[in-house]
Amino acid sequence: MNPIAFTLVWAGVLGFIGMVGYASEGGPAWVFAAIVLAAIAFMIRWR
């Protein structure tokens, strides 16, 4: 997969998770979880 496309897809998915989580309970915890998932995904992608 094209790295730029991969980045855009992940940014969209994580942005959506962050917005939904922030709107419901949790708040910042959801944003933190999304950032952790992004870090894991990039580590797997660039390994």
Instruction: Give the HSE-up count for residue 35: Cα atoms under 13 Å, Cβ half-sphere.
Output: 5
pTM (2 d.p.): 0.45
> In what helix (H) or strand (E) does residue 47 lie, and over which residues does it extend?
none
What was the pLDDT predicted at 15?
Answer: 79
What is the tens place of the pLDDT at every residue in 10-26? Answer: 888 877 877 777 777 76
Q: Token digits for 25?
A: 């309970």
pLDDT, tens digit (0-9, with 9 covering 90-100), for 21-42: 777 776 677 777 778 888 888 8
- Place 1 in a pLDDT band, splitting at 50, 70 and 90: low
